[in-house]
Amino acid sequence: MTMTQKLRVPDHPFPEPPAPGTATEVAPGVLWMQLPLLWALNHVNVYALDDGDGWTVIDTGLDTTKIREVWETLLAGPLGGRPLRRVVVTHHHPDHVGLAGWLCAKTGAGLVMPRTGYLLSRMLRAEEQSLPPRAVVEFYRRAGMDPELLAQRRTERPFNFTDWVAPLPLDYGRIREGDRVRMGGRDWIVRMGEGHAAEHATFWQEGGDLVIGGDQLLPGISPNLGVQPTEPENDPVTDWIASCERLAAFARSEQLVLPGHKKPYHGLPERLDQMARGHHEALDRLEKHLAVPRTGGDCFAPLFRRSVTRDSYGLALAEALGHLNALVAQGRAIREMGDDGAWRWRAA
Ligand SMILES: [Zn+2]
């Protein structure tokens, strides 16, 4: 899931995305496919790597009837009816992990993902809620959610992981930082990113120019760096900037990055620099905005260069908290509890 700043887009060698149910070969034996999403961002990218005797698939889309049908078309068509050997998931968000369990059950493929993502996916699937728990309502009140919206949300079924993610296999293969894995006739080094999702896997081809980036390395849009009710003091913006700076050491202009959304691109060194700079600048604008005390819900204007709709309000609030927590961690802002039960942040 993504939102926030629109940034300058780097060079895209494949200008047209593959039509639904078809694939574009972006390198020998590497297929790019798109699945629909139901959100403002209307697609997610998945990839298939030719292992000779079958395929490794990277990411899987949301679990909906329609997207299962698209997979059926892809398996019979571009993947030529050859077996899936492995389903690799970059991170635990529903648009990436959603159909992993279904694909594994259907094809006999093994699941491969980071341990944090696997455990979070299993945990979140086990917690179905018909109404937001009291602690979650309190979290939103402290964050400064618009009171009318909060009153409405208290009465509605919240976003449930289990509505969008099929049951996961009871075992999986763990990948961790620095691992070497063989996929599509190539060796890849696993490097983990932080900030958008805990332990987000990226794959860097050894002796070649392909990088599988998931949502850690997106062109044109900045992924959501959100604070969730389970970890209210989390500081994902600082983690994100640190990941951009760390991964920059491995980035080269000639690499072709295969992202989780939008189109494959060249120009990773510039893109990483641009993403880190974008959040540094957002922190500067937010700090100025805190010349007077503000709630989290009062902080959208300096962060987002587009209007925040009701649909994107939750993501926007989560990301506002992310930047506010970063300013507090850096000693640039302090917060005090207001009489209405909502924090007020102000510049230190
Ligand atoms: Zn995503």
When pLDDT is averaged across residues 114-126 and rounded to a whole number, the result is 97
Neighbouring C-beta atoms of residue 248, cutoff 10 Å: 16
User: Whole-angstrom Cα distance, residue 347 to residue 11?
Assistant: 39
Q: Whole domain around residue 122: which residue ranges?
A: 2-347
pLDDT digits (tens, 9 = 90+) for 267-319: 999 999 999 999 999 999 999 999 999 999 999 999 997 788 888 899 999 99
Helix (H, G, I), strand (E, B) or coil at 158: coil
Alpha carbon of 179 to ligand 1 centroid (Å):
23
Q: What is the pLDDT, as a whole number, of residue 261?
A: 97
Alpha carbon of 45 to ligand 1 centroid (Å):
8
Q: Residue length, the chain?
A: 348
When pLDDT is averaged across residues 186-196 and rounded to a whole number, the result is 98
Q: What is the pLDDT, as a whole number, of residue 283?
A: 98
- Backbone φ and ψ for 280, nearest 5 degrees, come out as -60, -45
Helix (H, G, I), strand (E, B) or coil at 266: strand
> Is residue 150 within a helix (H) or strand (E), and if so which, with residue range?
helix 147-153
When pLDDT is averaged across residues 212-217 and rounded to a whole number, the result is 98
Parallel/antiparallel/unpaired status of strands 55-58 and 84-88: parallel
> Which has the higher per-residue pLDDT, 41 or 225?
225
Alpha carbon of 288 to ligand 1 centroid (Å):
31
Q: What is the pLDDT, as a whole number, of residue 294?
A: 98
Closest C-alpha among 199, 201, 126 to residue 168: 126
Alpha carbon of 333 to ligand 1 centroid (Å):
30
When pLDDT is averaged across residues 127-141 and rounded to a whole number, the result is 95
pLDDT digits (tens, 9 = 90+) for 144-181: 999 999 999 999 999 999 999 999 999 999 999 999 99
- Name the domain count of the chain: 1
Q: What is the pLDDT, as a whole number, of residue 5?
A: 44
- Backbone φ and ψ for 258, nearest 5 degrees, come out as -105, 100
Is 3's pLDDT higher than 70? no
> Which has the higher per-residue pLDDT, 307 or 100?
100
User: Whole-angstrom Cα distance, residue 343 to residue 335?
Assistant: 6
Helix (H, G, I), strand (E, B) or coil at 46: strand
The two tokens of residue 78 are 């571009």
Alpha carbon of 332 to ligand 1 centroid (Å):
31
Is 250's pLDDT higher than 70? yes
Q: What is the pLDDT, as a whole number, of residue 10?
A: 65
Do 222 and 7 touch, CB atoms closer than 8 A? yes
Do 105 and 118 touch, CB atoms closer than 8 A? no
The two tokens of residue 185 are 């006739």
pLDDT digits (tens, 9 = 90+) for 71-85: 999 999 999 989 999
> Which has the higher per-residue pLDDT, 8 or 328?
328
pLDDT over 70 percentage in the chain: 97
Ramachandran assignment for 299, one of left (phi > 0), alpha (psi -120 to 50 degrees), beta (any other): alpha
When pLDDT is averaged across residues 224-253 and rounded to a whole number, the result is 97
Alpha carbon of 1 to ligand 1 centroid (Å):
4
Alpha carbon of 260 to ligand 1 centroid (Å):
6
User: Whole-angstrom Cα distance, residue 149 to residue 137?
Assistant: 11
Q: What is the pLDDT, as a whole number, of residue 40?
A: 74
- Find the CATH number of the domain harbouring 117: 3.60.15.10
